[in-house]
Amino acid sequence: MKVTRLFFSAMLFAGMAFTMQSCGGDTSTKSEEKATTKVEEKVVVEDNPMALGEKIYMEKCVVCHQANGEGIPGAFPPLKNSDYLFADKVRAVAQVLNGSNEVMIVNGVSYSAPMPQQVNTKEEAVAVINYVLNSWGNDGGKVTLEDVKDVVIDPRQ
Ligand code: HEC
């Protein structure tokens, strides 16, 4: 009886080890896939400013403004259909460069939490704002580097 149980646990252990190993196998394939995606990503990003904007959005903005651009009502304002955003694109570029700490009304809802500085260059700021202006059904037009030439980048904190 005891032997059978021992044998059974050994089988179970072997089974687990096998499963773990096959997961490990998956990871190595995934990292290869990742490497390929990175090369492709670089090409796409250089040729396509919308792709750069999307990359920045997914890395930096998505935690607060959410994948659907709707934010979190009362905490993080929406970028989808934002009357405040559409009213002043240059201001939006300045806000991602320098942060924002004011009370603002976006689509009738008041927001007052501060947004920290998000990006360091005007190129990045323009790319991400253009992505936001043209995502989730937004038809917000474009902002150019020329439009934001007078924006002053505050010293980094
Ligand atoms: C830590 C959370 C957080 C992150 C990350 C963040 N934001 Fe914000 N964002 C806020 C908050 C909070 C406000 C409101 C700020 C205020 O009241 O002064 C805001 C305001 C804005 C506004 C103006 C209001 C509106 O809804 O139109 C824009 C545009 C904006 N963010 C874009 C971005 C972009 C683009 C990124 C990424 C590069 C980003 N934010 C990253 C929290 C965040």
pLDDT mean by block of 10 residues, the chain; 157 residues: 46 43 47 56 64 97 98 97 98 98 97 98 97 97 97 90
In ligand 1, the atom with minimum distance to the C-alpha of 112 is 17
On whether the CB atoms of residues 95 and 115 are closer than 8 A, the answer is yes
The Cα 61–Cα 82 span in angstroms is: 15
The whole-number pLDDT of residue 32 equals: 54
Nearest to 132, CA basis, from 108, 117, 77, 149: 77
Domain formed by 48-157, architecture: Orthogonal Bundle (1.10)
| Stated pTM of the model | 0.78
In ligand 1, the atom with minimum distance to the C-alpha of 84 is 27
The whole-number pLDDT of residue 22 equals: 44
The whole-number pLDDT of residue 65 equals: 98
CA angle 57, 62, 68 (to 5 degrees): 100
The whole-number pLDDT of residue 55 equals: 97
The whole-number pLDDT of residue 17 equals: 43
Ligand 1 pocket mutation, candidates 65, 66, 68, 136, criterion most atoms within 8 A of CB: 65
The whole-number pLDDT of residue 38 equals: 59
